[in-house]
Structures are given as structure tokens and as C-alpha cells.
Amino acid sequence: MIVKPRSIAVIVVAILNIVVSGAALSSDATGSVDLLADASRSVSIVENKTASAWQKSLVFEESGKHAVAFRAVFQVENPTCLTSLVLKKPLNIENLTLNGKAIPTPIKGMTYQIIPGIPVSLLEKGSNELQATWTQEIKSQKDEKTSMVSIVPGQLDAADVGIRLFELTPSALTFQTGPVLGYASKNFFTVTCRVNIPAEAVLEVNGRKYVSKPALLHSFNVDGLEPDTLYHYSLKARLSSKGDTVRSVGPYPVRTLPTGGQFSFAVLGDSRTDPKAWAKVAASVVTAKPAFTVFVGDMVANGRIDSQWDEQYFGPAKDYFATIPCFAVIGNHEGNCPLFTRIFPTPGGKNWSQEIGSVLLIGIDGAMDWTSKSDLARWLEDTLAKSKAKFIFLASHYPAWTLGRHGKLKNGRPQEKSVRLAQDVIMPLLKKYNATAMFAGHDHVYERSEPEEGVTMIITGGAGAPLRDKVANAEEQNPYSKVFAKKYHYCLLTVNGDVCTMKALTPDGIMIDKCSWTARKGK
């Protein structure tokens, strides 16, 4: 990037012009038009929640945090002819209004760089006004040679504020996310997707058709299917039932889950931050053709930033999500975001269980209240007590035993509450009911531990997040560790009769560990 030598202030203010990824928003690519291209722009200092005099630029004389407002006045000839609006902005700009009405976001609690699906009804014929506010941090900077103190940035120009409002024509309709296969069973599967303009979604499965109402996010449950049977599905987005402007994806294969016999499934976690590494791991999993996957959390760096889901997780692994049912477990980097449970159907929210053939799967949010007398602990014990499955696997983001930094000790005990509760409550319950193994992520390594409780502890946190080393006092922290590998990987489990075999594999197919479990006693 070449910056003209205008002034330090203007260069710093250019930070506001964050490049936003996602569907292209140029008029050449999508037929979209920036309604603010010729707008009259101005900025103001906010005092007592009210903007002061509007100006083309602001000059700051003191460091600190300043409440700033932005205004753009623009003309719209005939808003009734428009299809949809999308707003592009930096993350820190908020409280956006259009003609005095709040600009809605698709999901409350998420943070957006691109806000799709803004209703054109907010526009008026003729003059329109868009406003936004944010906190501008002004810093003081001392020159070591002259000892002079300057303010950076010293100026904010309205023309440099990176807010753009696009009119999307019907030709801009596209799939933003997915399709994403969620959990499945022997006679159904679930699938979700997102589009960039509120539209109907049509799901076709072997000649059967399902239609959802106009929206940005769509979720389907296809039931009445045969066990362990291959089906093909495709998705269409359309702006009307008359078939005007249709976008299609697929067909994709999907197989319902088995009722027994031999089958394989994959367990993996912590893909965040490095989309290229995650893409390699995901492609390797697709090649292995598991019946389903279990992902143990930390899909993205910050789950509340909507754009990261497509950039870091869904985008690099399209075939993975379109062809393999995924059972999801939430991690700490998801930030308890509201998108999680909407984009990932599970058998029961963030804490769920499901039997598949001879396997009982249990997925939990390990950051919740798992104290011994909690409702969740009682639910887990009841679920374990009732199961007659040959193998029981529990998936949580938080491990009970680890050589990584999340197992650091204080006075001989893990500092992190979620790790302590995994040791004190969850693992003893698994031992009591003769469960097979616990899977987790959180530390970005592969590690297998065999604690005295008799329940194997597997950390599979190598799907793309930055890999990490052991801590200095490794043996004191986890005396049960048997295998440790600082490598990208996933775990592939194969159930065959009374034996379940697990292989930990790198994306290149190199095996870094292998172990087997026999069926639970009496099962």
C-alpha cells in the first residue's frame, strides 16, 4: 500500500478504512451501487450524547478517548425500486441509524463489518441521512530528539471514514455461508446456510423439496430417510416463488448414519486463526470419508465477529461442511456467540447426547457450571447411567489433563476452573460409568493421557490454530501423559464390533499415535 505524504494525522485516520472481506461489493462484480458515493459527509464531537456542530474535519488537541459522530446526507430517487441494502464499515463503528431509525443487524450480539439484509423501507424518496458513532482514541507521542509532544491522530476527516452503503440488485444474490451439515441420525440430517439478501431457500433431496421463508439464515431438518443410505441434495436461493433470480449450489452427497456394524468418525478441534492450515486438515478429513465428525471448539479467533466465520472456518473447508455431518462443541474463542447454536444444529443446544450405532456421544460446554451438585452434573450422570452403548465418548473444549499452558498449576491445582472441574467432576463421572474416553482441545497439540481413573484423555487441538510447546514443569502438571505431538492433525476412530481403534493422523496421512479400546463391560 502506497500512502501519499499528506500528514501523520490523515495516515493514522486511514485505519478507519478497514478492508472488509466477503462477497465482492463493486458495481462491476455484483451490479451494486454505493449510495454514499456522492454523499455530503461530516463529523462531529459528541457531547452529552448529542453531536455538536457538523464539520468536514475535526482537530484534536488533547489525548484520550473522544466520542465521535459521522453523518452522510445522500439522495435516493426511487427507493421502492431497490431490492436490498448492505452496509460496509469498520468494526469499531456502531450505533448506525438511517433517517433516525436504527439499522438492524442480522443477529443481536454479533459484530459486523458487513451488515446485510438492511430493509429498503428505511430509505426515503429524496434526501436521506445516515449517522454513526464510535470512540476515537487519541494518543500523545513524544519526539525523542526534540522532546516535543504531539497528538496522534491530530485530525479526523469525514472523507476518510470508511462507511459505504450499497444498493444490491437481484444479480448480487449469493450464498454467503454453507451449506453446513449439522448433526444427523439414522433417518435424518440437518443443513444450514446463509445468503446475502433475504431470500427463500429451496432444499431438494432426491426429488423431495423443502422451502423456507425469506431470510438471511436458513435451517432444514430432512427426516423420514433410510439408515446408512447415500442421498444427494442441492440448495437454491430465490427472491420470489416465481423463480426470479435463482442461485444454486450442489448437488452434494450425504449419507445417513449407521445403526451398527463397522463405521468411522473423526474428532478434531482448534482450527482458528490459520485458514490455510485448517483447509489442509479439513481436506484430509474429507479424504478419510468418516460417517460424521465431532469438532471440539475454537473454530474462529473471535466468534462474535461475524466475518471470521466465513474467512477462518466455513470458507476454507467447503467440501468438509457440505458433505460430512458435524456435531459441534463450543470453545472459549466462540465467545458464547449467538450465531453458534443457529448455524450448528445439535441434538440439544450446547450440551447434548446421541447414540450412533454402538457409540454414545456426549458434547458439553465445559465452561458452564459443572460443579458436583449442579443441574448439568446431574444431567451428565443420568445420561451415562442410562446408556447401554459399547463405547462412550465425551467431547468438551476443556481438557482434564494437559502438558500445555492451559493446565498450569497454582498450589498444585489447575488455575483454570474448567480444567479443575474436568478433573474433579467430569472424569470421575466417566470413570464411575466405565466410559471410554474424553476428547478436548484448548491446547494446540495432540496428547493422549492415561490417568488412574481409567478413562483415556485425548487432546486434539491441531486443526489449524498456532501449535504450542509443553510447559516447563510438564511432568508435575500431567503425570499421565503417554504421547505428545506438536503437529496439525485429526483423530480418526473406527468402530468394529467390540473394538474401537483410534489413529491420530497429520494432514499428510502420517500416523502420530494409535490406540484401541474394548467394549464396556457387560455391553
pLDDT in tens, 330-370: 999 999 999 999 999 999 999 999 999 999 999 999 999 99
Residue 226 has pLDDT above 90, yes or no: yes
Task: Considering only CA atoms, give the Rg of the chain.
Answer: 26
Pairing of strands 101-102, 64-76: unpaired
Domain positions in the chain: 8-171, 189-255, 263-518
Output the pTM of the full model: 0.89
CA distances 53 to 41, 46, 58, 70, 388, Å, are 13, 9, 10, 11, 72
84 burial type by CB count under 10 A (0-12 exposed, 13-18 middle, 19+ buried): buried
Task: Please name which of 52, 38, 65, 41 lies closest in space to residue 131, comparing C-alpha atoms.
Answer: 41
pLDDT in tens, 15-32: 333 333 333 343 333 447
**How far apart are the C-alpha atoms of 392 and 353, rounded to whole Å?**
10
Residue 170 has pLDDT above 70, yes or no: yes
Q: What is the pLDDT of residue 241?
A: 58
Q: Which three cell numbers stand for residue 493?
A: 476412530
Residue 12 has pLDDT above 70, yes or no: no
Residue 199 has pLDDT above 70, yes or no: yes
Task: Determine the average pLDDT of the residues in 73-86.
Answer: 91
CATH of 8-171, one of 3.30.9, 1.10.3470, 3.30.420, 2.60.120: 2.60.120
- Of 36-45, 62-71, 115-124, 205-214, the least confident: 62-71
Task: Determine the average pLDDT of the residues in 51-76.
Answer: 87
Give the helix ranges, DSSP H, for 231-332: 275-288, 306-308, 318-323
Residue 35 has pLDDT above 50, yes or no: yes
**How far apart are the C-alpha atoms of 445 and 269, rounded to whole Å?**
10
Measured in whole angstroms, how far is the alpha carbon of residue 13 from the centre of its chain? Answer: 30
pLDDT in tens, 452-507: 878 999 999 999 999 999 998 888 999 999 999 999 999 999 999 999 999 999 99
Helix, strand or coil for residue 13?
helix
DSSP 77-120: S-GGG--EEEEE--TT-EEEEETTEEPP-SSTT-B-SEEEEE-G
Backbone dihedral angles phi then psi of residue 337, each to the nearest 5 degrees: -70, 145
Triad 318, 218, 365: Cα angle to 5°: 75
Residue 131 has pLDDT above 60, yes or no: yes
Q: What is the pLDDT of residue 473?
A: 85
Q: Which three cell numbers stand for residue 23?
A: 462477497
Task: Determine the average pLDDT of the residues in 131-139.
Answer: 86
Residue 248 has pLDDT above 60, yes or no: yes
Task: Determine the average pLDDT of the residues in 43-59.
Answer: 84
Which fold does the domain 263-518 belong to in CATH?
Answer: Purple Acid Phosphatase; chain A, domain 2 (3.60.21)
pLDDT in tens, 374-399: 999 999 999 999 999 999 999 999 99
**How far apart are the C-alpha atoms of 336 and 339, rounded to whole Å?**
9
